[in-house]
Amino acid sequence: MSSEAPQNHRNSNLYVLLLIAITIGGTGFWFFLNRWAAEPVGPTIAKEFAEDFEKECFLELQEERECRKLIGLNHSECLFANVERVTPGSGDQGGDIKHDREGYMTCMREKTGVRH
């Protein structure tokens, strides 16, 4: 009987730690979705920016496959780094958004080495 008490206590501690870990993980996931996944960069803007950089890249490298690879590796990071929420808001009232095309192009040039 005395060996069951420490075992039950240990199980109790594990359940508490598991509950804390799930709570922290859920909060982190919610923060991620709220901050990054919900950023208001539509597919039209993303495609326009990528096409603009692809033109520059192709003029310099003359290699479409290499340009697409470079874009694939760096596009998201540069795109989201150059989006600014001008007025606060969330959900359907997401506020006004500013897309910095030059900032995106500069970021892509720095990360890929394309200088055209």
| pTM reported for the whole predicted model | 0.56
Does 45 share its domain with 75? yes
Least confident of 15-19, 41-45, 91-95: 91-95
Average pLDDT over residues 75-91: 73
Does 51 share its domain with 13? no
Does 24 share its domain with 60? no
Per-residue pLDDT of 14-33, as tens digits, reads 999 999 999 999 998 887 76
What's the whole-number average pLDDT of the chain? 82
Q: Is the pLDDT of residue 40 over 80?
A: no
Average pLDDT over residues 66-73: 92
**Of 83, 73, 84, 65, residue with least CA distance to 110:** 73
Tell me which residue range forms the domain holding 15: 1-38
Does 64 share its domain with 16? no
In this prediction, residue 71 carries a pLDDT of 92
DSSP string, 52-100: HHHHHHHHHH--HHHHHHHHHHHHHHHHHHTEEESS--BTTB---EEE-
CB–CB of 66/110 below 8 Å? no
More confident residue, 96 or 101: 101
Does 68 share its domain with 79? yes
